[in-house]
C-alpha cells in the first residue's frame, strides 16, 4: 500500500508571463470575396504547474560512492539479459551497504534461504530482485521497487523516496509553452444565392505540460530535475486543421436560373430549396506510449523510449483480424523493437506518436413554402450528420508491455445520424 498523497499550495503570489505577437494581411477581392492571412505567435513562461517534491532522489551510498539509480540500472541490465533468477545477479555496493544499515547486520549474515526457499539468494541485491520478482526491475520501475524494499526492510525510511508521502506536490511556475500558427481564411459574402467560409490553420503547439495546474495531481511536471525532459507537442497540438461551411439557395423556382417564370403552384413545388453544409478536417492528435513503469515518481507512467524503426504517425491496416496502428508491422517484433522500457530515473518521449486524422461532412437540405399570409413561412428540413457514415479509428493500445500493443479497438466517430424538423415562422 502506497503512503498518503499530499498537495501543498504555495501562499506566495505566483505570476505567469504570456507574450503574444501577430501580423496579418486582409484584402477584399472582386465578387464579394475577402481573404485574410495572419500569423499568430504565443510564448508562455513561468506557467502554473505542479511538481513532486517526493519524487525519487538518486541517493548516494557514502561508503562506496555508488548511487541508487546506478545500482538499480545495473541490476535491471542483468535481469533483462540473464535467466531472470535472483541468484544470477551480482551484488551492488549500494544495496549491500544500505541493506546492512537497514538490517543492522551484514547482508551475508542473513539466512536468505529461510525467506526465499530454494532460490539461492545470498545477498541484499539478490533479495531485492526476489522481493519484486524481477518484473519491476525489468521495466525500470525504480519508484515501486524502492517502496517495496522499504516495506521489506532492506532500505531505511526516506532513502530514495519520501517515507511519508508517495506524492508531495506543490504549485510552482515551472511550465513553459510556445505556439506558432499560420491562419488563412477566404470568405464569400452572400450574393447570387451563395455564401461560404473556408479556413485553414497550420500550427505548432509545444509545452512541458498541458494539464490544468489547479486540479488534484493535474499539471504535474514529469521530472523536477529536468524541466525539458517532457517538452514536446502539446496534448491539443493539431498540425493541420481546415473547415468549410456554406449555404446555397438552389437555382430552381421563380426568378431563378431554372424555372424562372414558373407559376405559383410550380414555384411552390420546385422553389425554396436551400442546401447547407460543413466540412471539417484535422490531422491526428499526439499521444504517448505507456509502460506501466514509474521510474521517477508514483504519478507519472513513463512513456516508452523510442529507438526507431516504425513510422510514428502510424500506418493503419484494417484488413486483418484486428486493426493495427502500425500496419503489417504489428504481426512482427519490429514494433516492440522500436520501443524499450526506461531505465531507473529515465522518462521516455512524450507525445511522439500521432493518432489517425479526422474528416467529416454534415449536410442540411431545407424546403420553404410561402404562405398566403404576409410574413408567414413553413419550412421542412432534414440534416445528416456524418453524411458519408465514415468511421475514424480511435487511439491504439499504447502499452508497449501489452500483448495488444498497437491494436485499435475503438472508434472516434459516431454513425450517420439523420434529423428531421418542421419550422413555422410568423
Is residue 76 within 8 Å of 343, Cβ to Cβ? yes
| Whether residues 83 and 215 fall in one domain | no
| Span of 129-138, 208-217, 275-284, 361-370 with lowest mean pLDDT | 208-217
> Mean per-residue pLDDT for 323-329?
74
| Whether residues 222 and 360 fall in one domain | yes
Q: Terminal CA-to-CA distance of the chain, rounded, Å?
A: 68
pLDDT of residue 12: 53
| Span of 36-45, 188-197, 331-340, 362-371 with lowest mean pLDDT | 331-340
Residue-wise pLDDT for 155-195, tens only, equals 998 999 887 777 888 888 899 999 999 999 999 998 888 89
Residue 10 has pLDDT above 60, yes or no: no
Burial profile 106-139: b = 16 or more Cβ within 10 angstroms, e = fewer: ebeebebeeebeebebbbbbbbbbbbbebebbbb
Distance CA 353, CA 193 (A): 44
| Whether residues 137 and 218 fall in one domain | no
Task: Flag whether 165 is in a domain.
Answer: no
Q: Which of 26-35, 302-311, 369-378 has the highest mean pLDDT?
A: 26-35
Task: Flag whether 173 is in a domain.
Answer: no
* Mean of all residue pLDDT scores within the chain: 88
> Mean per-residue pLDDT for 65-94?
92
| Whether residues 88 and 235 fall in one domain | no
Residue 176: other Cβ atoms inside 10 A:
20
Residue showing cell 439523420: 418
CA angle 373, 379, 380 (to 5 degrees): 145
Distance CA 105, CA 379 (A): 89
What is the pLDDT confidence band of residue 16, given thresholds at 50, 70 and 90?
Answer: confident
| Whether residues 299 and 222 fall in one domain | yes
> Residue 196's closest CA among 248, 123, 136, 156?
248
> Mean per-residue pLDDT for 400-424?
89
DSSP assigned state of 328: G
| Of residues 218 and 66, more confidently modeled | 66
DSSP 331-364: GSSHHHHTEEPPPTT----SS-EE---EEEEEEE
pLDDT of residue 2: 45
| Of residues 424 and 9, more confidently modeled | 424
Task: Flag whether 170 is in a domain.
Answer: no
Distance CA 362, CA 243 (A): 11
> Mean per-residue pLDDT for 130-135?
88
Distance CA 322, CA 408 (A): 7
pLDDT of residue 3: 47
| Whether residues 320 and 412 fall in one domain | yes
| Whether residues 406 and 343 fall in one domain | yes
Residue-wise pLDDT for 227-275, tens only, equals 999 999 999 999 999 999 999 988 887 767 777 677 777 777 777 789 9
> Mean per-residue pLDDT for 65-93?
92
pTM > 0.75: yes or no: yes
| Whether residues 188 and 75 fall in one domain | no
Task: Flag whether 8 is in a domain.
Answer: no
Residue 206 has pLDDT above 50, yes or no: yes
Residue 333 has pLDDT above 60, yes or no: no
Task: Flag whether 25 is in a domain.
Answer: no
Give the pairing of strands 4-8 and 417-425: unpaired
Strand ranges (DSSP E) for 158-193?
165-191
| Whether residues 302 and 421 fall in one domain | yes
Is residue 281 within 8 Å of 321, Cβ to Cβ? no
Residue 327 has pLDDT above 80, yes or no: no
Residue 209: other Cβ atoms inside 10 A:
26
Task: Flag whether 320 is in a domain.
Answer: yes
Specify which residues 87 forms β-bridges with. none
pLDDT of residue 105: 95
| Whether residues 133 and 214 fall in one domain | no
Total domains, the chain = 2
Task: Flag whether 417 is in a domain.
Answer: yes
| Whether residues 138 and 234 fall in one domain | no
| Of residues 288 and 406, more confidently modeled | 288
Task: Flag whether 394 is in a domain.
Answer: yes
Domain, as residue range, for 200: 183-425
| Whether residues 286 and 189 fall in one domain | yes
Amino acid at each position: 500500500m502506497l503512503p498518503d498523497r499530499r498537495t501543498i499550495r504555495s501562499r506566495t503570489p505566483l505570476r505567469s508571463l504570456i507574450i503574444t505577437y501577430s501580423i496579418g494581411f486582409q484584402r477584399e477581392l472582386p465578387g464579394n470575396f475577402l481573404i485574410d492571412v495572419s500569423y499568430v505567435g504565443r510564448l508562455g513562461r513561468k506557467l502554473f504547474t505542479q511538481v513532486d517534491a517526493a519524487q525519487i532522489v538518486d541517493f548516494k551510498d557514502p561508503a562506496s560512492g555508488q548511487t541508487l539509480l546506478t545500482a538499480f540500472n545495473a541490476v535491471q541490465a542483468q535481469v533483462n539479459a540473464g535467466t531472470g533468477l535472483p541468484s544470477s545477479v551480482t551484488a551492488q555496493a549500494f544495496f549491500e551497504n544500505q541493506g546492512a544499515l537497514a538490517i543492522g547486520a551484514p547482508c551475508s549474515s542473513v539466512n536468505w534461504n529461510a525467506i526465499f526457499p530454494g532460490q539461492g539468494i545470498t545477498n541484499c541485491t539478490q533479495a531485492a530482485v526476489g522481493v519484486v520478482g524481477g518484473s519491476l526491475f525489468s521495466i525500470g520501475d525504480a519508484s515501486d521497487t524502492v517502496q517495496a524494499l522499504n516495506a521489506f526492510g532492506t532500505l531505511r525510511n526516506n532513502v530514495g523516496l519520501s517515507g511519508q508521502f508517495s506524492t508531495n506536490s506543490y504549485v510552482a511556475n515551472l511550465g513553459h509553452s510556445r505556439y506558432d500558427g499560420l491562419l488563412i481564411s477566404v470568405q464569400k459574402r452572400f450574393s447570387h444565392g451563395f455564401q461560404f467560409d473556408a479556413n485553414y490553420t497550420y500550427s505548432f503547439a509545444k509545452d512541458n505540460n498541458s494539464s490544468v495546474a489547479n486540479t488534484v495531481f493535474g499539471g504535474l511536471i514529469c521530472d523536477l530535475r529536468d524541466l525539458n525532459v517532457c517538452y514536446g507537442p502539446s496534448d491539443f497540438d493539431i498540425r493541420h486543421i481546415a473547415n468549410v461551411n456554406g449555404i446555397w439557395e438552389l437555382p430552381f423556382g421563380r426568378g431563378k436560373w431554372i424555372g424562372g417564370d414558373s407559376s405559383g403552384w410550380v414555384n411552390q413545388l420546385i422553389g425554396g430549396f436551400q442546401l447547407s453544409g460543413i466540412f471539417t478536417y484535422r490531422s491526428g492528435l499526439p499521444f504517448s506510449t505507456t509502460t506501466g513503469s514509474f521510474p521517477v515518481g508514483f504519478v507519472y507512467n513513463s512513456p516508452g523510449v523510442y529507438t526507431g524503426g516504425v513510422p510514428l504517425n502510424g500506418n493503419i491496416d484494417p484488413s486483418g483480424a484486428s486493426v493495427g496502428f502500425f500496419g503489417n508491422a504489428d504481426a512482427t517484433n519490429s514494433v516492440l523493437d522500436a520501443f524499450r522500457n526506461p531505465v531507473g530515473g529515465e522518462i521516455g518521449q512524450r507525445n511522439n506518436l500521432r493518432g489517425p486524422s479526422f474528416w467529416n461532412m454534415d449536410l442540411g437540405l431545407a424546403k420553404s413554402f410561402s404562405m398566403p399570409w404576409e410574413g408567414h413561412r413553413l419550412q421542412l428540413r432534414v440534416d445528416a450528420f456524418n453524411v458519408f457514415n465514415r468511421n475514424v479509428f480511435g487511439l491504439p493500445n499504447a502499452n508497449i508491455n501489452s500483448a495488444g500493443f498497437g491494436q485499435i479497438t475503438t472508434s472516434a466517430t459516431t454513425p450517420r445520424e439523420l434529423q428531421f424538423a418542421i419550422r413555422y415562422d410568423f
